Structure 1
Amino acid sequence: MFNRSAYCSFVYTTTWAVWTLLISGIPIQAAEVELDGQIFTVADGMTVERVAGPPLVNRPIHADFDEQGRLYVLDSSGSSARGPEQLKEKSHRIVQLTDTDNDGVFDKSTVFADRFMLPEGACWHDGSLYVAAPPEIWKLTDEDEDGIAEKREVWFDGTTLTGCANDLHGPYLGPDGFLYWAKGAFAEQSHDLLNGDTLTTRAAHLFRRHPSGGPIGNVMTGGMDNPVEIVFTPGGERIFTTTFLEHPQEGKRDGLIHAIYGGVYGKDHGVLVDHPRTGELMPALVHQGASAPCGLARLESSQLGTDYSTNVLSCSFNKHRVFRHKIGNQGGMLTSENSEFLVSDSPDFHPTDVFEDADGSVLVINTGGWYKICCPTSQFYRPEVLGAIYRVRKIGSHHENDARGKTIDWGQKSPAELVSLLADKRFAVRNRARKRLGELGAISVPALKDGLSKLKNDQQRLQVVWAMCQNSSAAARQAIHLALDDSNETVVHAALHSISLMFDKTAAEAIRQHFASFSAYNRRIAA
Structure 2
Amino acid sequence: MKILKNLNAKAVLVNLILLLFFVQSCNSPKNKTIKKAIVNKEKPSVPDIYAEHIRTSEFKMPEEERLAFKLPPGFEITLFASEPDITKPINMEFDDRGRLWVTQSSEYPIAAGMGDGKDRITILEDKNGDGKADSFTNFDDNLNIPIGIMPVSDGAIAYSIPNLYYFRDTDNDGKADSKKILLGGFGHKDTHGMVNNLMRGYDGWLHVCHGFSNTSNVAGTDGDSIKMISGNTFRVRMDGSRVEQTTFGRVNPFGYAYDEKGYLYSVDCHTKPITQLIPGGDYPHFGKKHPLELVLLLK
Question: CA offset at residue 12 of structure 1?
Answer: 4.9
Partners of 2:103 and 2:146 within 8 A in 1: yes
Name the residue aligned to 1:145: 172
Match of 1:263 in 2: 281
Q: Aligned partner of 2:273: which letter?
A: G
Letter in 2 for 1:144: D
> Which of 204, 213, 224 in structure 1 is aligned with 2:240?
213
Matched ranges for 1:25-104 at <5 A: 36-38=63-65, 39-77=68-106, 79-83=107-111, 85=112, 87-88=114-115, 90-104=117-131
Q: How far is 1:230 from its partner?
A: 1.3
What's the TM-score once normalised by structure 1's chain length? 0.41
Secondary structure of the corresponding residue to residue 130 of structure 1? strand
Tell me, in whole angstroms, the C-alpha distance in 1 between the residues paired with 2:198 and 2:181.
Answer: 13
Of structures 1 and 2, the larger Rg is shown by 2
Q: CA deviation at 1:61?
A: 2.1
In the alignment, structure 2 segments of 5+ residues that lack a partner are 1-49, 56-60, 295-299
Letter in 1 for 2:269: T
Is contact 1:175-1:232 (8 Å) kept? no
TM-score, normalization by structure 2 = 0.69
Select 1:154's aligned residue among 158, 177, 181.
181
Asked if the contact 1:71–1:98 (Cα under 8 Å) also holds between the matched residues in 2, the reply is: yes
- Displacement of 1:198: 4.3
1:232 aligns with 2:261: no
2:198 maps to 1:171: yes
Matching residue's letter, 2:276: H
| Cα contact 2:62–2:82 (8 A) shared by 1 | no
Residues 1:191 and 1:74: Cα distance change in structure 2 (over 3 Å): closer
The answer to whether the 8 Å contact 1:74/1:95 transfers is: yes
Q: Say how many residue pairs are matched.
A: 238
Q: CA deviation at 1:113?
A: 0.6
**Distance across 2 between alignment mates of 1:235 and 1:193:** 30
Amino acid corresponding to residue 257 of structure 1 in structure 2: T
Q: Secondary structure at the match of 1:261?
A: coil
1:102 Cα offset (Å): 2.2
- Larger RCO (CA within 8 A; separation ≥ 6): 1
2:220 and 2:62 map into 1 onto residues whose CA distance is 49
The whole-number CA distance in structure 2 between the counterparts of 1:194 and 1:236 is 29
Mind listing any 5+ residue stretches in structure 1 that lack a counterpart? 1-7, 14-33, 245-252, 282-527
RMSD: 3.0
1:127 is displaced (CA, Å) by 2.6
Q: For each residue in 1:381-437, what CA deviation from the matched residue of structure 2 results, as whole angstroms up to 9, or x when unmatched?
A: xxxxxxxxxxxxxxxxxxxxxxxxxxxxxxxxxxxxxxxxxxxxxxxxxxxxxxxxx
Q: Check conservation: 1:193, 1:199, Cα contact below 8 A.
A: no
CA shift for structure 1 position 186: 3.6
AA of the residue aligned to 1:146: D
Contact 1:127 1:141 in 2 (8 A): yes
Give how far 1:76 is off.
2.8
Conservation of the 8 A alpha-carbon contact between 1:174 and 1:180: yes
Q: Which is further off, 187-196 or 94-103?
A: 187-196
1:464 aligns to what? none
What is the 5 A alignment of 1:273-312?
Answer: 277=291, 279=292
Distance verdict in 2 for CA 1:43–1:9, change over 3 Å: farther
Is the Cα contact below 8 Å between 1:191 and 1:215 reproduced in 2? no
Q: For residues 158 and 129 of structure 1, what CA distance do their matches in structure 2 show?
A: 18
How much has 1:11 moved relative to structure 2? 4.6
